[in-house]
Chains A and B, each alone.
Chain A
Amino acid sequence: MARINNQIRRLRFDHGEMTQEELAQRAGCTRQTIIALEQGKYVPSIELAFKIAGAFGVSLEEVFQYEA
């Protein structure tokens, strides 16, 4: 089964241990959505994925990886 992995938790750590709340504010979503993303229980829309990547200042592929 195809799966979309993400590096959000690691990227938060790399960015001075950015809090989930801070990332949520930057990406324009709720903290609960960040929690669900980190647990692999939610696949974001393209728009939110770009916003999260933008919050870290990295490309989309550095945050999300498609695993066939």
Chain B
Amino acid sequence: MAPLQKRALYSLLIGLVLVAALIVVFVIKGDVTAFSDDGNLRYLTYGVLIGVPLIYLILVNLTLRKPTQIDERDRRIMDKAPRLQLVAIYISLAVWVIALTELYRETGQIPRIFVTLILFSTLIISSLAQSLGILIGYWRANRNG
């Protein structure tokens, strides 16, 4: 496994664990409006928001600074990763729009907190999709060349 591939995998796994933990906490609280009322939930969400891109930065971007750990093949794979990132962001935004439209169609307005959650989820998904894009790039390169 290439050094960049290994670090992208660690970054994705750690990010997924953090996001899963956050989702579990939201489910236990039962309602997203708890975000406004519960300080601990807010700090946890902020932690994940900062943690996921930070993990990506530490694990993946620091690899790029070591010339012995990355070469032209890795860079080619990395250059293609943003394609998946873009698709993931489009899909997540579409899911938010459809879900919120359907859930709050009766009331005609959505709780303000969703604006913050949409931003947070987009940033987290962007970081995770970058790592996933790198892993898919290696998988395709090893399979098809």
Residues on A lying within 8 angstroms of B by beta carbon are: 25, 28-30, 32-33, 36, 39-45, 47-48
Contact = CB atoms under 8 A, between A and B. Distances in A.
6 contacts: A28-B67, A29-B72, A30-B2, A30-B73, A33-B72, A39-B145
Given A30-B2, A32-B2, A44 B145 contact: no
Contacts of A36: 73, 141-142, 145
Nearest to A24: B71
B141 A30 contact: no
Interface in B67-85: 67-74
B144 interface: yes
A42 B145 contact: yes
B3 interface: yes
Interface centre among A25, A33, A47 (most CB of B within 10 A): A33
B6 to A, nearest CB: 10
A41 B71 contact: no
Contact of A29 (B3, B71, B141, B145): B71
Interface residues of B, number: 16
Main secondary structure of the interface of A (DSSP, over half): loop
Contact of A30 (B3, B144, B145): B3
A44 B141 contact: no
Interface in B95-118: none
Nearest to A41: B145
Interface in B1-23: 1-3, 5
Top 9 A-B residue pairs of the complex, sorted by shortest distance between their CB atoms: A41-B145, A29-B71, A32-B2, A33-B73, A30-B71, A33-B71, A45-B72, A42-B73, A48-B72
Contacts of A47: 72
Contacts of B142: 36, 41
Given A41-B142, A42-B141, A44-B72, 16 more contacts: A25-B68, A28-B67, A28-B71, A29-B71, A29-B72, A29-B73, A30-B2, A30-B3, A30-B70, A30-B73, A30-B74, A33-B71, A33-B73, A39-B145, A45-B72, A48-B71
